Amino acid sequence: MPTSYQWAIAVRAEEVFQGEELKKPAIFDQSAQFCDDFAERFTAAARTYQVRPQAKEHLAIGEKWDKFNFSLEKKRVLNDSKVVKTEDNVKQHSHTHQRL
């Protein structure tokens, strides 16, 4: 199955967080950007490592995995915001909310 992930790496929290600030580990491409909710996603992944020790068997701390089926053919839009406009409203039939 194609994915937009090129690689994944297991790192310790202190390698990514400096207090409240995010810092890129040296192994990250310096042009890479953190997504808006990176801290929440990182925390969720860390919980998985704590609750399921077998996760460490798949990707050990410091190990990089790059054998994904990477493809940008089906692009996803990240951090998009939904803007609702009056023109988006669908006109309903006049009898829709009436008892006939």
- For 52, the token pair is 């399921």
Mean pLDDT, the chain, integer: 84
Cβ neighbour number for residue 13 with a 10 Å cutoff: 9
Paired with 70 in beta bridges are 3
* Range 61-70 average pLDDT: 88
Asked whether residue 77 carries a pLDDT value surpassing 80, the answer given is no
* Range 19-24 average pLDDT: 88
Asked whether residue 16 carries a pLDDT value surpassing 80, the answer given is yes
Paired with 57 in beta bridges are none
Cβ neighbour number for residue 9 with a 10 Å cutoff: 15
Q: Which residue has the tokens 């953190």?
A: 34
* Range 9-26 average pLDDT: 88
